Amino acid sequence: MTRQIVLDTETTGLNPRSGDRIIEIGCVELVNRKLTGNNFHRYINPERDSEEGALAVHGLTTEFLRDKPKFAEIIDELRDYVSGAEIVIHNAPFDVAFLNAEFALLDLPEFPKHVGPVIDTLVQAKELHPGKKNSLDALCSRYGISNAHRKLHGALLDAELLADVFLAMSRGQNSLTMEMQVEHQDGEAQDQSFDAVLPDVLVLAASDAELEAHNAVLSGLDKDSKGKTVWRMEAGNSA
């Protein structure tokens, strides 16, 4: 079983080193590349105001966040939720730096120590689409994923959009043999493989005129080589 968590955060500003904090975290769970609906979403009281530029992006005011739990109050839930999973983030260094700062304030090991590999979809997108815009909005447009309802940035909404983008970008990595879960009467799930159904191959036979022209070319080559063409030799050996 492959468990992946698509994660996004909103913050009070751009730099955790200057005291900026996480104010929202949203996570979407994928198991074997399927959305499970087991999401994680929390608003967080950062105990400080957001910078004006950041507030314009996420719209989460100090008044709204004042009665929300502090990061220390949600850390155990978050650690349990992400434990051991692969983490998918767009521009991972940004979010991981903020998570590391929050974990450090609580004397905990850095965020990557609690999870599996961290996958950066921005790096993947740049490799797939060099020289093009690879923001989340640009990728949604490129892969036909609707983000019309996205007026402001929100951690859970962005994580949901990124999950769709990630699945679309990595779809070509699937093998022709797909796995499905079969539910038995006793309620236990069992892996079962099946070969993907491929479309019939359309075969077009050569017309009589085309065959005649082809034989004429072969005969000419055979004459030029005095009967030493490979196809004549092979035909003689098989006779």
Catalytic residue list:
153
Residue 147, burial from CB neighbour count under 10 angstroms (0-12, 13-18, 19+)? middle
Q: Which two tokens stand for residue 195?
A: 């070969």
Residue 155 · residue 9 · CB < 8 Å: yes
- Token pair 């077009």 is at which residue? 204
CA 157 to chain centre: 15
Element spanning 98, H or E: helix 92-105
C-alpha closest to that of 44 among 78, 84, 1: 78
In the chain, the amino acid numbered 148 is: A
- Integer CA distances (angstroms), 138 to 102, 133, 166, in order: 30, 6, 13
Residue 40 · residue 81 · CB < 8 Å: yes
Dmax of the chain from CA atoms? 96
Q: Which two tokens stand for residue 113?
A: 């120590």
Q: Are strands 86-89 and 3-11 parallel, antiparallel or unpaired?
A: parallel
In the chain, the amino acid numbered 195 is: D
